A = this chain, B = another copy of it.
């Protein structure tokens, strides 16, 4: 333990990472660098600076990573229509690789030999942080206090905090444990408390980003999303930066009660866990992206993407963003998006995102002259279908013939 000289801590300024900060100073007797990122979680960051200073931290990094987060992580992931286990849009998973990257960069810049984070030993986030860190710096040391210390209950943690003069807000003291939450520009998640019983419905006051469909406006709203190379670039004709666009989608989606999810998922560490998620903008993006692909992607390209998507989703969920296999898949996914240009119209109403129109001036593969039920003037020769069916059936017919003979 004595070997660590300086450690970069992913520091939110909250109770848990404040306790960690103090604990690292006490136990490892080493210098601490704090790193606090704005990835759209919607919290003030300056208090984190003040708190870190009070602990005597001299190197304090506070970064606005919102654009990078959406542009280089969220959007590339959505190019694949990524969903984990049929439901989850990977809001937490996709933020971790960026944090890991910055931790390693800051360790390099500050000549730190270790990093530390506040993820527990039961969850996926420890894996995501650490796989990323090791992939980017094979010699980095990692301190995961939750796997080392004995503060394994809420009570012990609070006791430690009070004992070491770490301010504890009232909300932490009252009632039982709070939900374990995580937020960024893509989503907010909830775990723990009542959710530990998967048979029970979440309490309505848990949700923070969206109104319930019941409380959403009675009037539907239409929204045009414009795509370029598979990424959304404009809303209702207005060009927006990546982060601004997602923030605006969150605002509109949240207003219409869109993007709530209640899920039991399989963690990489081997257990099932129940989580609730709000992903208003992402829910709109997934629908819209599939719609723009529906007219611009070749059928077999789309099908191949669909078959590989679950694996790509697992890679991100499991923390392998910085792996060569994820990069290899990304190369292919990105290649597929060159023609994914055009616009999609969605209707938003009380929790529903409905695609009602889509077009691409430059890349549509929809050929009305062929698909029509009216006279197509020879564009398609229906007689071709006979041969098509006959040869596709040949192996089935041969098998049936021999089967009959064998009887």
Binding site for B on A (CB under 8 A): 81, 85-87, 120-122, 126-127, 130-131, 134-139, 144, 146-147, 152-154, 177, 180, 191-193, 196-202, 213-214, 218, 220, 260, 262-266, 269-274, 290-291, 294-295, 298-304, 306-307, 310-311, 314, 320, 322-325, 327-329, 331-332, 335-336, 345, 347, 349-352, 354-359, 362-368, 370-375, 380-402, 404, 406
Knowing A332-B332, A363-B406, A374-B153, say if A355 contacts B272 (CB, 8 Å): no
Decide if B134 touches A393 in the complex (CB within 8 Å). yes
7 more CB-based (< 8 A) A-B contacts, given A262-B356, A269-B388, A274-B371: A154-B374, A198-B357, A270-B394, A304-B311, A327-B335, A363-B406, A384-B391
A332, B330: Cα distance in complex, Å: 8
A266, B302: Cα distance in complex, Å: 9
A197, B295: Cα distance in complex, Å: 12
Query: Which residues of B lie under 8 Å from residue A122 when comparing CB positions?
Result: 370-371, 380, 382, 385
Query: Which residues of B lie under 8 Å from residue A220 when comparing CB positions?
Result: 214
A391, B396: Cα distance in complex, Å: 19
Knowing A138-B401, A372-B196, say if A385 contacts B381 (CB, 8 Å): no
Closest B residue by C-beta to A368: B196
Closest B residue by C-beta to A310: B306
The answer, among B121, B266, B374, B404, for a CB contact under 8 Å with A138, is B404
A53, B304: Cα distance in complex, Å: 48
Decide if B266 touches A395 in the complex (CB within 8 Å). yes
Query: Which residues of B lie under 8 Å from residue A134 when comparing CB positions?
Result: 389, 393, 396-397, 400
Query: Which residues of B lie under 8 Å from residue A147 when comparing CB positions?
Result: 382-383, 385-386
A198, B383: Cα distance in complex, Å: 27
Query: Which residues of B lie under 8 Å from residue A368 when comparing CB positions?
Result: 196-197
The answer, among B126, B328, B350, B383, for a CB contact under 8 Å with A121, is B383
Decide if B311 touches A307 in the complex (CB within 8 Å). yes
Knowing A198-B357, A213-B352, A352-B213, say if A131 contacts B373 (CB, 8 Å): no
Decide if B332 touches A329 in the complex (CB within 8 Å). yes
Query: Which residues of B lie under 8 Å from residue A392 when comparing CB positions?
Result: 127, 131, 270, 388
